[in-house]
Chain A
Amino acid sequence: EDQVTQSPEALRLQEGESSSLNCSYTVSGLRGLFWYRQDPGKGPEFLFTLYSAGEEKEKERLKATLTKKESFLHITAPKPEDSATYLCAVSYSGAGSYQLTFGKGTKLSVIP
């Protein structure tokens, strides 16, 4: 069973069409949940860290929220330059202190 599940696997949006990406996790003892953005041919770029349920963080058109079992990445009025793969990862007490466990990602395409 995957410990971090992201959905949908792929998402196509029209420019300006707001939506949300989901990251659900089954681990216990969450220490932090991380969101990254990855462009083709590049390494992941850090976006946010969330530590506790109810926490929210924003950056431009992106807003990340966290509940006890999942996180959402809300994209408001997306633009074509928001097209990328968005990765979610968790750090939890059952794993090594150094380890982030990643989901498979959601590939977002924003059509002009």
Chain B
Amino acid sequence: ETGVTQTPRHLVMGMTNKKSLKCEQHLGHNAMYWYKQSAKKPLELMFVYSLEERVENNSVPSRFSPECPNSSHLFLHLHTLQPEDSALYLCASSQEWSRGYANYGYTFGSGTRLTVV
């Protein structure tokens, strides 16, 4: 299997549940990302993992917790979410940036459509 694979494709969870989203890439990339896509809003970067560092958007609530056990796998752990967290969650990967910035296109997965009830 090639590309970036996300599971599950759809998830409905209650506000008290704990669930995890999974992302796997088979491209040999060494940077992985979580993005949130809400209707009528731009894609919002949540977390980045690269060979050397993890970077997060400080505005992301602590109820979202990322985990990156190796360069091919990325998880997003969810707990006590709110209805406004309902969105499409996208995983992406890329080659490590050269010359200090990301000049390669990302490869995105198909996303997990999350609904919080």
Q: Give chain A's interface residues, CB within 8 Å of chain B.
A: 2, 4, 31-32, 34, 36, 41-47, 49, 51, 87, 89, 91, 93, 96-105
The distance from the CB of A10 to the nearest CB of chain B, in whole angstroms, is 12
B42→A49 contact, CB < 8 A? no
Chain A minimum-CB-distance residue to B103: A32
Compute how far the CA of A104 lies from the CA of B63 in the bound complex, rounded to whole angstroms: 25
The distance from the CB of A27 to the nearest CB of chain B, in whole angstroms, is 13
Which residues of B have CB within 8 Å of A43? 4, 6, 90-92, 108-111
Q: Give chain B's interface residues, CB within 8 Å of chain A.
A: 4, 6, 31, 33, 40-43, 45, 48, 50, 55, 90-92, 97, 100-111, 113
Compute how far the CA of A103 lies from the CA of B44 in the bound complex, rounded to whole angstroms: 10
Most buried by A among B55, B102, B106: B102
Which residues of B have CB within 8 Å of A31? 101-103
The distance from the CB of A35 to the nearest CB of chain B, in whole angstroms, is 9
Which residues of B have CB within 8 Å of A103? 42
A34→B55 contact, CB < 8 A? no
Compute how far the CA of A2 lies from the CA of B6 in the bound complex, rounded to whole angstroms: 30
Q: Which of B43, B101, B102 contacts A102 (CB 8 A)?
A: B43
B97→A42 contact, CB < 8 A? no
Compute how far the CA of A103 lies from the CA of B108 in the bound complex, rounded to whole angstroms: 16
B105→A46 contact, CB < 8 A? yes
Could you name 16 residue pairs across A and B whose Cβ atoms are closer than 8 Å?
A: A36-B105, A36-B108, A41-B113, A42-B111, A43-B90, A43-B108, A43-B111, A44-B108, A46-B107, A49-B103, A49-B104, A91-B103, A96-B55, A97-B97, A98-B50, A98-B97
The distance from the CB of B94 to the nearest CB of chain A, in whole angstroms, is 9
Q: Which 3 A-B pairs have the closest CB atoms?
A: A43-B108, A46-B105, A102-B43
Compute how far the CA of A49 lies from the CA of B59 in the bound complex, rounded to whole angstroms: 28
